[in-house]
Amino acid sequence: MNGAQDLGGQHGFGPVAPDVDEPLFHAAWERRAMALTLAMGATGSWSIDTSRHARERMPPADYLASSYYEIWIAGLERLLVEQGLATAEEIAAGRSLAPPAPVKRVLAAADVPAVLARGGPTERPATAPARFAVGDGVTTRLANPHGHTRLPRYLRGRPGVIERVQGCHVYPDSYAHGAGEAPTWLYAVRFAAEDLWGADAEPDTAIVADLFEPYLTPG
């Protein structure tokens, strides 16, 4: 969706302002927010794609006014309600008002190292040959998808070249909506900055993005 999360090429946010002495966490609650998000993800109640879509549906004014862990917490609360794991009343009360819903698994402390080491690989056996090869010219599709997608607005309808073939991966546009993994070929596609920003492009610059096969047409 074309939500506030789709930031490539937007203006008005000011300088990057990196902090040399930045702490890993800026407040104790950020630690808990990070861990809660990972632990709930480990229950298998939703995918990373579903959780990204939950975050990007935050009202744009709120998204832009929130820190990233605030966005995570808002997304987690939304997922709990949408997936039937908790009600808004329970979240407001901070206590259970009804029996828990079943979850696939609960992450035990002893299992954390193994679960983190395993991660969540998204590559899958190919179900069809790749349509494109390194060096092929492609054009990205125009679209106005209300659902989750990983094709940002600034890369729609633009010409590029296949830079790498990344394998066949879970397709977020499907999996975010519970419609199956639908493994799909993924390509790193290279764009000349001039083909994105015209005469305002910085010279001698390329942008490479990982784009799924349905986002691309030949030539």
Partner 1 sequence: MSGEQSHHGHPHPGHPDHAHEHDHPHGEGSELSPIELRVRALESLLVEKGYVDPAALDVLIDTYETKVGPRNGARVVARAWSDPAYRDRLAADATAAIAELGISGRQGEHMVAVENTAAVHNLVVCTLCSCYPWSVLGLPPVWYKAPPYRSRAVAEPRAVLAEFGVALPAGTSVRVWDSTAEMRYLVVPMRPAGTEGWSEEALAHLVTRDSMIGTGLARDPAGASAGRP
- Told to check if 94 binds a second copy by CB under 8 A, we report no
Nearer to a second copy, 96 or 205 (CB): 205
- β 159-169/184-192 pair status: antiparallel
Q: Which of 65, 93, 128, 179 binds a second copy (CB under 8 A)?
A: 65
**Subset of residues 176 to 215 that bind a second copy, contact rule: CB under 8 A:** 194-201
Choose the stretch contacting a second copy; rule: CB under 8 A; options: 36-44, 101-109, 110-118, 137-145: 137-145
Q: Which of 20, 61, 98, 117 binds a second copy (CB under 8 A)?
A: 61
- Told to check if 55 binds partner 1 by CB under 8 A, we report yes
Instruction: Tell me the closest approach of the beta carbon of residue 10 to partner 1, in angstroms.
Output: 4
Supply φ then ψ for residue 163, to 5 degrees: -100, -40
- Told to check if 11 binds a second copy by CB under 8 A, we report yes
DSSP string of 72-132? HHHHHHHHHHHTTSS-HHHHHHTS-SSPPPP-S----GGGHHHHHHH----B---SS--S-
Instruction: Tell me the closest approach of the beta carbon of residue 106 to partner 1, in angstroms.
Output: 6
DSSP bridge partners of 160: 138
**189 contacts 218 by C-beta, under 8 angstroms:** no
Q: Which of 179, 181, 164, 172 is nearest to 215 (CA)?
A: 172
Q: Which of 52, 124, 131, 153 binds a second copy (CB under 8 A)?
A: 153
Q: What is the CA radius of gyration of the chain?
A: 20
- Told to check if 104 binds partner 1 by CB under 8 A, we report no
- Told to check if 194 binds partner 1 by CB under 8 A, we report no
- Told to check if 10 binds a second copy by CB under 8 A, we report yes
Choose the stretch contacting a second copy; rule: CB under 8 A; options: 20-28, 34-42, 58-66, 101-109: 58-66
Instruction: Tell me the closest approach of the beta carbon of residue 138 to a second copy, in angstroms.
Output: 15
Distance from chain centroid for Cα 92:
27
- β 216-218/137-140 pair status: antiparallel
Q: Which of 176, 177, 173 is nearest to 151 (CA)?
A: 173
- Told to check if 216 binds partner 1 by CB under 8 A, we report no
- Told to check if 48 binds a second copy by CB under 8 A, we report no
CA 107 – CA 127 distance, rounded (Å):
32
- Residue ranges in contact with a second copy by CB under 8 A: 1-4, 9-14, 56-61, 64-65, 141-146, 153, 156-158, 194-201
